[in-house]
Structure 1
Amino acid sequence: MLELSDAQIGGWVSSFLLPMFRVAALLMVMPIIGTQLVPMRIRLYFALGICVVLVPNLPPMPQVDALSLPAFILIAQEVLVGVMLGFVLQLFFQAFVIAGQILATQMGLGFASMVDPSNGVSVAVIGQFFTMLVTLLFLAMNGHLVVFEVLAESFVTLPVGSGLLVDHYWELAGKLGWVFGAGLILVLPAITALLVVNIAFGVMTRAAPQLNIFSIGFPLTLVLGLVIVWISMADILSQYQVFATEALQFLREMARAS
């Protein structure tokens, strides 16, 4: 009869479950996979499959009792590290969402909203368009593979039980301002063009006061805004590459212990 000691069971549990908490936390928070479009059970199965591949190649895990206080502290640390990595990706995606919201407000489409199936909230149509666009670009350029590569490297650069990196969390909090700045840069040419259009309408109103600017200004601004969005799509790829490179580089820096 096979007999297993508490130390052996605890070692097996820690060697598999501790990495799984980090992987599962990342998959629950990151865009695309962590949205409501992917069922919770599928995400858990996906995390289990990744751990089956990663665990044999990982450095030794700390040996702790599975039901002790140090084990729960390690679990909390791993969950926090996974959430931190996933939140970095959320910041990158939200930059494009904010860009769409700003552009929709400027061109008069702020009232045209739809339910975002991934987050379950109402967003502007232009914002939803930018969300789908950045999702397709992220998958087409293998951004998800880069994320999984950084996740695998994090177990070497940031081993389980190495402690919380408070400085890195402050850096992550400082990145919140980067989201609004990146979104504003994305739509700055379009906003400038719409500003010129609005100034032109103001000049027309002063030149011809009898002209009903509200009856022609709103639909014309809307049409010109759609034309400006169409023209600005020619440069969206280069802008995406700049912000994606910066976001993934910051993700890699967050996964380093020093």
Structure 2
Amino acid sequence: MLEFSDTQITHWVAGLLLPLFRVGALLLAMPIIGGHLLPMRIRLYFSLILTAVLLPTLPASSLLLGFNLATLLLIVQEVLNGLLLGISLQLFFQLFVLAGQLLASQMGLAFASTVDPASGTSNVVLGQFLNILAILLFLAVNGHLLVIGLLAESFHNTPIGSGFLTSRYPVLLAQFSTVLSGALLLVLPQIIALLVVNLAFGFMSRAAPQFNIFSIGFALSLLMGLLLLWIGLAGFADSFSQLASDAFVILRELI
């Protein structure tokens, strides 16, 4: 009959549960998997499977010593470490939502919004279109596998029990400015072109007030915006590749 001591059981539980909290927090906060499209039970099963796959490659840990304050602090640390990576990925995809909102406000589609089933919030349709396109490209280039690789690497760079990584929080805060600048640069050519079109309408209305230019200006701005969006999609993959490379550089700084 096999017998196991309390020390062995504690070591095994620590080796499974503590990584599970980091993996689960990442899957809870990251896009695609962390949205409302997947039930919580499915995400929990996926967290267990992913933790079991990564477990042989992780450094040994036996820091879990019963249910006490030190254990709670370790759990909070691992949850925050996982959320740090997940929120950073969430900000990367919100970049495309923001870009769609900026472009929609210039072409007159800001009122066309619908509920996003993944986040449960109301977003502009154009922003959801760019977000879905970014998700498909992310999966096509195996970005999810890169995220899993960075997650496994994080256990070696920041082992369990490394403490609260407060020095890396400014990196996450700086990413908010990156989201705004990246979204603006993504649709800047279309915004400038639409601005020129609107200025032309303004000059025409001043030069010939008897013509009701603004009665057709909305339709022309909308058609011009859709045409510019169609033209800009030709270079969307290259822009996504550059933005994704910058995002993974930030992820490496966080781990």
TM-score norm. by structure 1 comes to 0.96
**Per-residue displacement from partner, 1:207-248 (whole Å, max 9, x unpaired)?**
210111231111111111110111111111111011100001
Structure 2 counterpart of 1:29: 29
Say if 2:105 is the partner of 1:89.
no
Asked if the contact 1:99/1:186 (under 8 Å) is kept, the reply is yes
2:148 counterpart letter in structure 1: F
Unaligned runs of at least 5 residues, structure 1? none
User: Per-residue deviation at 1:167?
Assistant: 1.4
Asked if the contact 1:92/1:247 (under 8 Å) is kept, the reply is yes
Structure 1 counterpart of 2:139: 139
User: Per-residue deviation at 1:62?
Assistant: 3.0
**Per-residue displacement from partner, 1:98-148 (whole Å, max 9, x unpaired)?**
000000001000001111111111111110101110000000010000000
Asked if the contact 1:62/1:160 (under 8 Å) is kept, the reply is no
User: Per-residue deviation at 1:8?
Assistant: 2.1
Map residues 39-188 of structure 1 onto 2, 5 A cutoff.
Answer: 39-188=39-188
Asked if the contact 1:28/1:43 (under 8 Å) is kept, the reply is yes
Structure 2 counterpart of 1:254: 254
**Per-residue displacement from partner, 1:13-36 (whole Å, max 9, x unpaired)?**
111000000000000000101111
Structure 2 counterpart of 1:231: 231
Which shifted more, 58-67 or 18-27? 58-67
User: Per-residue deviation at 1:64?
Assistant: 2.7
The total of aligned residue pairs comes to: 255
SS class of match (1:86): helix
User: Per-residue deviation at 1:3?
Assistant: 4.0
Distance, in Å, in 1 between the alignment partners of 2:52 and 2:153 is 16
User: Per-residue deviation at 1:5?
Assistant: 3.1
User: Per-residue deviation at 1:66?
Assistant: 2.9
User: Per-residue deviation at 1:9?
Assistant: 2.1
**Per-residue displacement from partner, 1:73-108 (whole Å, max 9, x unpaired)?**
111000000000011111110111100000000100
2:31 counterpart letter in structure 1: P
SS class of match (1:200): helix
User: Per-residue deviation at 1:61?
Assistant: 0.5
Structure 2 counterpart of 1:18: 18
Q: Percent identity?
A: 55
Asked if the contact 1:94/1:179 (under 8 Å) is kept, the reply is yes
Structure 2 counterpart of 1:245: 245
Asked if the contact 2:96/2:134 (under 8 Å) is kept, the reply is yes
Distance, in Å, in 2 between the alignment partners of 1:195 and 1:167 is 42
Unaligned runs of at least 5 residues, structure 2? none
Distance, in Å, in 1 between the alignment partners of 2:237 and 2:50 is 30
SS class of match (1:78): helix
Distance, in Å, in 2 between the alignment partners of 1:22 and 1:73 is 13
Which runs of 4 or more aligned residues in structure 1 lie more than 4 Å from their structure 2 counterparts after TM superposition?
none
1:217 counterpart letter in structure 2: G
Give the superposed CA RMSD: 1.1
Asked if the contact 1:22/1:81 (under 8 Å) is kept, the reply is yes
Asked if the contact 2:26/2:85 (under 8 Å) is kept, the reply is yes
Distance, in Å, in 1 between the alignment partners of 2:162 and 2:11 is 17
